[in-house]
A and B are shown apart, each in its own frame.
Chain A
Amino acid sequence: MSSARFLSTVLGRSSTAALSPGEAGEDQTAVRAWANSPVNVEGIGALVGLAVAWQIASHYFPAFLFPPLQTIAATLVSTVSDPAMLSTIGLTFLRIVVSLAGTFILASALGVAAALHPRTDRILEPLIQLKQGVPGVCWIIFSILWFKGMEARIAFIVVISTLPSFYYQVRDGVRGISLELWQMVRAWRPTRFQMLLKLILPALRPTLLTAWRINLGGGTRMVITAELLAGVSGIGYQLRTAEEQFRMDSAVAWTVILVAFVLACDAILKAVERRLRLGAPAPGIAA
């Protein structure tokens, strides 16, 4: 629903046609101001509505299904103020970041190689397609059977699940660099490393940031799932404990922490993206 329609609905007016001309003008100005506001009023309204619905449900259902918001808040505060729990949070976040960084480096190398050497692409393509056909949960089972250590299992699962996305983004990003720019830089006879440093990586920056933003959520999900099914530490393990103890407040508190992590990372990536976009052509600027 558009902002204008939402406002009309909220105000109980089907259209501005029934208003006096002056009133209609003022009303439309208010609608525009609302629509252009940097704060997503509708989104906040939806979240508040959800919280209210939850609170109402907590009055009618037992606490292990819908604990009151104040209980969740208290659990959240006690979780983030407990050093042991903080180290659990840190461990999971470290697993996510390190596994994703490792995957990113590996996939970038493969993606660049595939873009520059068609034979590499022909070798990798069927392997990646085969991987895509195997459900994620199967890889978790394989990791439990193949690896003894928790960290190795998690790293394997994250690499397997996020590598294709990183790989395709990098490969297609390199392929998307214009032939004109390739020729211009090559005419100066750079080394391969210089080519990578001066052209490929800077040209790929927006693509890589997008890949990170896409894979951050996926990587987080896979780490949590691995911890949940095969772990003895981390947020996923804590979620499993909460489930076994019927502690919905604890499960929601851990979920909030995870969501906060993903949103914070996304905000950081967005900020970096904005900074890097300084050099990108802005729409509407005449040549």
Chain B
Amino acid sequence: MTMPDLRPDAIIFEDVSKIFSSGQGATIALEKLSFSIRAGEYACILGRSGCGKSTAANLLLGLDRPTSGRVRVFGENPARDFARLRGRLGSVFQSDRLLPWRTAVENVQLPLEILKISEYSLSTSAAEWLTRLGLQGFEESFPHQLSGGMRQRVALARALVAEPDIVVADEAFAHLDEVTGERLRRDFHRLTKETGKTVIHITHSIDEALSLGDRIFVLGKPGHLLAEIDEVPLKDRTALRSYILTHLQGTVRQAPKTAAVANGSSDQATLSQEWAT
């Protein structure tokens, strides 16, 4: 018998809907999405492209407001109580989003400058973070002088330098080659676990979610919760994989026929190919 997890909830999504209106009509990105993530947990949000994963990340970061429902981060509304969560949320995105006019170390220092944190008060300085992420000697390099993998490492250092409580990784390793992506995934997982961060890792890769997550939330389209899987490391990965695939394929069957079907490649086939590895 396992002990119940008594850690407090760091993140709560409660019946959250987000509708984007434009001249061509409304697009539902999230539809009554509900989940909660406990402090110190490594949670993966898994879903196909366009299922509202990044919208959920933006709501969590306070960059956007939900159309309805409630988002809470440590009990605060991240959009309304914007300043109260200063320094508590770090983020790393699919593209590195480095400022091209700043060197690697200056990019890492950006959050410290915004939060007015002296490097002396931190256990690990900006330069030390770069070293921990294997970028020793590249501190003074500009982003255009670094490879894609190195730039993403700088972005990871930037996300972690201010010692935030929560780190949001939005498809952070998706565009890297397999070897680089795997190394970065491993480093990121190790560093966030070592420092006890709450991580919300958004991904479309089942394998990535299975290898990293303590908990997995499977999202359907438009963004709603299809399945929630607890204690992932303790469970059989093959069984989980097919369980997740079944859920995701279920959403495909509900989707209307698309042009891809007419072209001879159904969404179902594309899905299988995408996640065959």
Of A24-32, A160-168, A198-206, the segment with at least 4 beta carbons within 8 Å of chain B is: A198-206
A189 touching B86, Cβ below 8 Å: yes
Instruction: Answer whether A187 and B101 are a contact pair too, CB < 8 Å, given A281-B144, A282-B144.
Output: no
* Interface membership of A10, Cβ < 8 A: no
A279 and B107 CA atoms in complex are apart in Å by: 12
Chain A residues within 8 Å of B113, by CB? 194, 198
B63 touching A279, Cβ below 8 Å: no
Chain A residues within 8 Å of B97, by CB? 180-181, 183-184
* Interface membership of B227, Cβ < 8 A: no
Query: For chain B, which range describes its interface: under 10, 10 to 19, 20 to 34, or 35 or more residues?
Result: 20 to 34
B99 touching A199, Cβ below 8 Å: yes
A181 touching B99, Cβ below 8 Å: yes
- Partner among B91, B115, B144 whose Cβ is within 8 Å of the Cβ of A280: B144
- Partner among B91, B148, B151 whose Cβ is within 8 Å of the Cβ of A187: B91
B143 touching A189, Cβ below 8 Å: no
- Partner among A190, A281, A286 whose Cβ is within 8 Å of the Cβ of B100: A281
Q: Which residue of A lies closest to B115 (CB)?
A: A188
A186 and B143 CA atoms in complex are apart in Å by: 20
Chain B residues within 8 Å of A184, by CB? 91, 93, 97
Chain A residues within 8 Å of B100, by CB? 279-281
Query: For chain A, which range describes its interface: under 10, 10 to 19, 20 to 34, or 35 or more residues?
Result: 20 to 34
Chain B residues within 8 Å of A183, by CB? 58, 61, 63, 93, 97
* Interface membership of A39, Cβ < 8 A: no
Instruction: Answer whether A180 and B93 are a contact pair too, CB < 8 Å, given A189-B83, A282-B144.
Output: yes
B89 touching A280, Cβ below 8 Å: no
Within A41-94, the residues touching B (CB, 8 Å) are none
Chain B residues within 8 Å of A194, by CB? 113-114
* Interface membership of B110, Cβ < 8 A: yes
Chain B residues within 8 Å of A202, by CB? 99, 101-102
| Interface flags, A150-189, vs B, CB<8A=1, else 0 | 0000000000000000000000000000001101111111
Number of A-B residue pairs having CB atoms within 8 Å of each other in the complex: 70
Chain A residues within 8 Å of B168, by CB? 187
Q: Which residue of A lies closest to B147 (CB)?
A: A287
* Interface membership of A276, Cβ < 8 A: yes
Name, among B83, B93, B101, B151, the residue most crowded by chain A CB atoms within 10 Å (CB to CB): B101
* Interface membership of B47, Cβ < 8 A: no
A281 and B147 CA atoms in complex are apart in Å by: 12
Chain A residues within 8 Å of B138, by CB? none
- Partner among A189, A280, A285 whose Cβ is within 8 Å of the Cβ of B82: A189
- With both chains docked as a complex, state the minimum distance between the C-beta of A180 and any C-beta of chain B, in angstroms: 5
* Interface membership of B66, Cβ < 8 A: no
Instruction: Answer whether A198 and B101 are a contact pair too, CB < 8 Å, given A184-B91, A187-B63.
Output: no
- Partner among A278, A281, A287 whose Cβ is within 8 Å of the Cβ of B148: A287
B114 touching A279, Cβ below 8 Å: no
* Interface membership of B85, Cβ < 8 A: yes
- With both chains docked as a complex, state the minimum distance between the C-beta of A215 and any C-beta of chain B, in angstroms: 23
* Interface membership of B266, Cβ < 8 A: no
Chain B residues within 8 Å of A276, by CB? 101
A186 and B58 CA atoms in complex are apart in Å by: 11
A188 and B109 CA atoms in complex are apart in Å by: 12
A-B pairs, top 7 by smallest CB distance, nearest first, are A279-B101, A281-B144, A184-B97, A189-B86, A190-B114, A188-B114, A187-B91
Chain A residues with CB under 8 Å of chain B are 180-181, 183-190, 194, 198-199, 202-203, 205, 276, 278-282, 285-287
Chain B residues with CB under 8 Å of chain A are 58, 61-63, 82-83, 85-87, 89, 91, 93, 95, 97, 99-103, 110-111, 113-115, 142-145, 147-148, 151, 162, 168
